[in-house]
């Protein structure tokens, strides 16, 4: 065999190995874990409203609400995140963060330092167990 045919043979073998390596690597890792494949997140419903819709500057109002599991999961331990947000210049800004057990209630105490009409909502971000959910938008007037 000539040097040229040896070089060509070596290149063919190298290319074959390079092309086969990803297929072998993916076969070695196996299928994705069952938790990732079959895990279905539950739907949730968040409801919230202000205890007082008109408050004075510095006066406290309570944001009361509930977090309902719509997927039928009754005995989940631990709390899910809930966030009070304010609409500012077309963007939802976080004001306060807490947790709530599924099928439970939450209360936030807030006060405001400026006179304004505020558009608020309560938001639950997506987690390992639940898809995201938001309450209806409600207003608080600070006088």
Give residue 74's pLDDT.
58
pLDDT higher than threshold 90 for residue 71: no
Considering the domain architecture, whether residues 99 and 46 belong to the same structural domain is answered as yes
% of the chain exceeding 70 in pLDDT:
69
Q: What is the pLDDT of residues 85-139, one digit of tens each?
A: 999 999 999 999 999 998 999 999 999 999 999 999 999 999 988 999 999 999 9
State CA 30 to chain mean position distance. Answer: 29
Query: Global pTM?
Result: 0.70
Number of domains composing the chain: 2
Rounded CA gap, 67 and 99, in Å?
Answer: 10
Residue 36 falls within a domain, yes or no?
A: no
> Which two structure tokens, joined as six digits, stand for 39?
């895990």
Beta bridge partners of 93: 86
Q: Are residues 46 and 97 in the same domain?
A: yes
Q: What CA–CA distance (Å, rounded) separates 125 from 41?
A: 12
Burial class (CB in 10 A: 0-12, 13-18, 19+), 17: exposed
Three-state secondary structure call for residue 19: helix
Upper half-sphere CA count for residue 107 (Cβ side, 13 Å):
6
Residue 21 lies in a domain: yes
């Amino acid at each position: 065999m000539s040097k040229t045919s040896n070089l060509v043979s070596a290149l063919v073998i190298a290319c074959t190995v390079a092309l086969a390596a990803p297929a072998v690597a993916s076969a070695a890792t196996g299928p994705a874990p069952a938790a990732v494949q079959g895990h279905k997140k539950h739907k949730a419903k968040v409801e919230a409203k202000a205890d007082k819709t008109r408050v004075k500057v510095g006066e406290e109002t309570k944001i009361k609400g509930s977090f309902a599991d719509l997927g039928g999961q009754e005995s989940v331990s631990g709390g899910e995140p809930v966030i009070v947000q304010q609409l500012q210049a077309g963007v939802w800004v976080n004001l306060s963060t807490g947790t709530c057990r599924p099928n439970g209630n939450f209360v936030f105490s807030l006060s405001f330092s400026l006179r304004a009409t505020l558009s608020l909502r309560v938001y639950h971000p997506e987690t390992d167990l639940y898809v995201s959910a938001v309450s209806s938008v409600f207003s608080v007037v600070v006088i």
